[in-house]
Amino acid sequence: MPFIPHTEEEVRQMLDAIGANSIDDLFDEIPSELRSFSLDGIPEGLPEMEVAQLMHERARKDADVHCFIGAGAYDHHIPSAVWEVATRGEFYSAYTPYQAEASQGTLQLLYEYQSMMAALMAMDVSNASLYDGASALGEAILMAIRAHRKSKSKKVLVPAGLHPSYRQAANAIVKNQNIELIEIPFDEDTGKISLTALNDYAGTDITALVIGQPNFFGVLEDVDGLTRWAEENNAMTIAVVNPLAMSILKPPGQWGNNGADIACGEGQPLGIPLSSGGPYFGFMCATQKIVRQMPGRIIGRTVDLDGKQGFSLTLQAREQHIRRSKATSNICTNQGLMVTAATIHMSLLGAEGLARAAAASHDKHRKLVSGLTAIEGVEVKFNSPVFNETAISLPVEASTVLEALAADNVLAGFDLKNDYPELGNALLVCSTEKQTGSSIDLFVDKLAALITS
Amino acid sequence: MLIFEQSSKGRKAHAQSPSSMAPLDDLPAELLRETPPLMPEVSEMQAVRHYTRLSQKNFSIDTHFYPLGSCTMKYNPRACNSLAMLPGLVDRHPYAPESHSQGFLSCMHDLQEILKVVTGMKAVSLAPMAGAQGEFAGVAMIKAYHDARGDADRKEIIVPDAAHGTNPASAVMCGFKIKEIPTRDDGDIDVDALKEALGPQTAGIMLTNPSTVGVFERRIQEIASLVHEAGGLLYYDGANLNAILGKVRPGDMGFDVIHMNLHKTFSTPHGGGGPGAGPVGVSKRLEPFLPIPMVDYDGSAYRFVTADDRPQSIGRLSAFAGNAGILLRAYIYARLLGSEGMTRVAEYSTLNANYMLKKMKDAGFEAAYPERRATHEFIITLRKEAKELGVNAMDFAKRLLDYGVHAPTTYFPLLVPECFLIEPTETESIDSLDNFIEAMIKIREEAETEADMVKGAPYTLPVRRLDDVKAARELDITWSPDS
């Protein structure tokens, strides 16, 4: 009984109090024919020591790699204090702050998180988080449809250069609500949103334009021009951005003439480990004007009976537990623990630390690309500025390269062939500030040897 | 004090950032940020002390009894966290090749198998990132199933009036209309009303069993037959799976699709409100529609099942593979428990709830469904106390905090007035249960003699009752230096 405290005597005492002969009697309202089945296939329980041995053995199988994959998940430095503090039992094992007086720690932290995230995006407001970047885009599209009352088309322009999984998840989330996601191709020279293709929709009723910064190829879009295009065509702008990059790049609230309407994305680069893709957290910021259309939990500052400052869940009239079928979203939890980590992370780095980490990541990436493109036949695919990843073209199949280098524990990047066959043999490579010079040299040497052999 | 208010210009946690700013000279100036964001400027110790102190303002399972009904606040074993964060697992990139992912993939595959057996379903996808997303995925599969059969006129989902708010909200996101049916005085749903509601427009029904009123739906087999005869499918909301784990299985009851809340039944952390994990299980006819990715094993290696393998899938719900790190914690928990341990979860959570129910009835509190067994939770109604003493369920809840107990779920389900939904879980000892009951008795005594004092509670927490109206009217949700 790994975590059950009852002694035999206590069980007897409790059954006597209830007036039952056995624990099994307590299940006598369940039809008996439903109660015979086998749990074959579920192993016997193990003591912690043996489970630990098993998990160490499995973890070792996946360890010790030189990873140059980005594609939406980035291996940045995380201060030790972040997870030491975030996994304190008082954060780790608390629930949604329904009893505000007994949850002021989580509530104040979330208010600080909202403040930091709004500042980073240069937007008015932030919610307390969503599940991840991809589902946050789905929710942002639904929010834009609700908020843009003058637009009737329910058409949303989504660039082909946005993360393929984001496009797929957003589609899965919105497709049953008569919303049309229209794909805008990228320019084959620059990798940016094709302005020619975009202009086909000028003057028509478009509810929103989605802009990725950087986009999936690492390329920086001309965000001012695109946002102005949306403004001129009465479409809302939804920014999907890397939050760490926003410490050095122009943030969504300052794009175009009036800024983006909604900014969302993946919060993982702010103190969350790679962990096979989750749990991460989706963030969402918006202008004050449309705050009541936001999905998810929002924390407000208020006062108590004695006039003392305190924090509580607010604008709950938007949410499913009150509005049921008329709620802004079915979402109930946020990603509380991940946001706890991100808030501590941002506090430790501050604006300058975040900018230095972003710039160092950019710098390491330049070194990687200059090493790789010195190899004959390896070229940069798009002639555009990038943040910390680049699409490179190869003289051989990308899958061949990935397999060969993986044999030396070098994970060389993300093969673009499945999602973008038109790019030919192309690999998306990334470096963060954590990458060492010797790992970069190893990658370059192994690739050179493979190509020239 | 906010972290921003402890800031000093130029102060920093020096160990945490690169020592200098690398050049950005290759980036066009118009794409760069001109002014830095307003962030705290504090030392490492200041940040650690601030957030440690904030943590101490929380009630949590590790510090307090937390009998929040429908949330299964049981002990979160520490091993589940530390082992899920082993290097190799915590550092694995979501797009690492399968050749370098066999450790992780084997855990995911084994978890799928365990969940299949314990719920009696044919197949499981771990993709949904929370219970509400599992509900969305389940209802989307019901829609995809009917659509694939050309049975597109089924536009209605039936939901009992006592259901979680997420049920109707999820069904609406999938494009369905909602039809509510009532709950009878004995806690079971009204089968006659169900018969009237069923028809060629019925896509399915969403049920929680044990239900949200804390009792087992006794006529579940008849309900399943009725819904199936009408051409609809049955959706199981797994919020209360803890009550029946290893004792009875949703698959055997006739459900076609279920979601499980691993942050409840499999004890992954609630984390101050997430992350959760809401895997879905299905019967054979819904298998083609499961959300991707899943993990397959061919006898020698584990691999991801993708859209190419499952052209009819409802698609992908996250950028990668769901809340993988939470799934790892659930897997570790499942291995610690094993099959016998899982069965004991249901047995001892039910024992604790029935013990509390009986003792509270003996102490004069009114059970909402007095003739019924408790499951892993039960409801008492404080309507008598509210009427006679002027002290309502919210007042009891707030005063409980002063006694060092987190309040149960209050005012849910909505159909029971002045209700407490109480779920002790199996990891609490008889002492904590007795302590809670004593506190309730004392609060009732206080209410008889000094009602106003109780109505002003709590007194011993960092703040007293908060002005929620002000919070919503004078919205202050981000800090600024002049606020």
Q: Do A329 and A297 belong together in one domain?
A: yes
On whether both B215 and B356 belong to a single domain, the answer is no
Check residue A326 and give its pLDDT.
Answer: 77
Closest approach of B43 to chain A, Cα-based (Å): 7
Are residues A411 and A442 both part of a single domain?
A: yes
Q: Does B168 touch chain A (CB under 8 A)?
A: yes
Q: Indicate the pLDDT class of residue B219, thresholds 50, 70 and 90.
A: very high
Going by pLDDT thresholds of 50, 70 and 90, the confidence category of residue A281 is very high
Range A17-42 average pLDDT: 95
Which two structure tokens, joined as six digits, stand for A12?
């007897």
What pLDDT is recorded for position A331?
78
Identify which of A281, A315, A197, A122 has the alpha carbon closest to the alpha carbon of residue B468: A315
Whole-structure pTM value: 0.97
Q: In A220-302, which ranges are continuous DSSP H helix?
A: 223-232
Banded pLDDT at A377 (limits 50, 70, 90): very high
Residue recorded with tokens 């003289």: A395
At A322 the pLDDT is 73
Q: How many domains does chain B have?
A: 2
| One-letter amino acid for residue B12 of the chain | K
Residues B284 and B360 in one domain: no
B89: domain CATH number is 3.40.640.10
Give the position of tokens 């608390």.
Answer: A94
- Which residues numbered 186-205 in A keep a CB inside 8 Å of some CB on B? none
Q: What is the bridge-based pairing of β-strands B378-381 and B419-422?
A: antiparallel
* Candidates A17, A94, A173; nearest CB to B58: A94
H-helix or E-strand spanning residue A15:
helix A8-18
In terms of domains, do B317 and B402 share one?
no
Write out the residue range of the structural domain in which residue A119 sits. 80-344
Helix, strand counts (H, E) of chain B = 15, 13
pLDDT digits (tens, 9 = 90+) for B397-452: 999 999 999 999 999 998 999 999 999 999 999 999 999 999 999 999 999 999 99
Q: What is the pLDDT of residues A163-206, one digit of tens each?
A: 999 999 999 999 889 999 999 999 999 999 999 999 999 999 99
Chain B contact present for A214, CB below 8 A? no
Strand, coil or helix: what is B287?
Answer: helix
User: Would the pLDDT of A149 be above 90?
Assistant: yes
Statement: residue A333 has pLDDT above 80: no
**Nearest C-alpha neighbor of B2 from the set A119, A353, A193:** A119
Whether residues B293 and B440 share a domain: the answer is no
Cα separation of A121 and A270, whole Å? 13
CB < 8 Å from A in window 62-91 of B: 62-64, 66, 68, 71, 73-77, 79, 81, 83-91
**DSSP E strands, A127-188:** 155-159, 180-184
In a domain, B377, yes or no: yes
Residue A317 has pLDDT above 90, yes or no: no
- Find the residue in B nearest to A142 (Cα): B173
Strand order in the sheet with A208-213: A125-126, A282-286, A262-266, A236-241, A208-213, A155-159, A180-184
Closest by CA to B342, choosing from B192, B233, B436, B241, is B241
- Token pair belonging to B372: 């019924």
Q: Report how far residue B239's alpha carbon sits from residue B409's, in angstroms, rounded to the nearest whole number.
A: 14
Distance between CA A113 and CA A281 in Å, rounded? 12
Residue type at A27 in one-letter notation: F
- Determine the residue among B7, B313, B320 to mutate to test chain A binding: the one whose Cβ has the most chain A Cβ atoms within 10 Å: B320
Q: Are residues B269 and B354 in the same domain?
A: no
Please name the helix (run of DSSP H) or strand (run of DSSP E) that holds residue B205, with its range, or none. strand B202-208
**Residue B275: per-residue pLDDT:** 96
Residues B467, A304: Cα–Cα separation, whole Å: 6
Give dist(CA A14, CA A41) in Å, integer: 33
Cα separation, A163 vs A173, whole angstroms: 16
Q: Are A21 and A15 in contact (CB under 8 A)?
A: yes
Asked if residue B377 and residue B329 are part of one domain, the reply reads: no
Is A400 in CB contact (< 8 Å) with chain B? no
Confidence at B310, pLDDT banded by 50, 70, 90: very high
Whether residue B127 is found in the same domain as residue B215: yes
Do A274 and A140 fall within a single domain?
yes
What ipTM, to 2 d.p.?
0.97
Q: Which residue(s) pair with A313 in the sheet?
A: A299
Is A42 a domain residue?
no
For strands A262-266 and B419-422, give the pairing: unpaired
In this structure, the number of other CB atoms found within 10 A of the CB of residue B460 comes to 11
Specify the pLDDT at position B389.
97
Helix (H) or strand (E) run with residue B297 in it: strand B294-297
What's residue A330's pLDDT?
A: 80
Greatest C-alpha distance within chain A: 83
Nearest to B174 by CA among A179, A262, A145, A151: A179
Q: Are residues B101 and B162 in the same domain?
A: yes
What values do phi and psi take at A389, rounded to 5?
A: -150, 160
**pLDDT tens, residue by residue, A293-312:** 999 999 999 999 999 999 99
Owning domain of residue B179: 80-337
Beta bridge partners of A282: A130, A266
Say whether B168 and A325 touch across the interface (CB within 8 A).
Answer: yes
Q: Are A69 and A368 within 8 A, CB to CB?
A: no
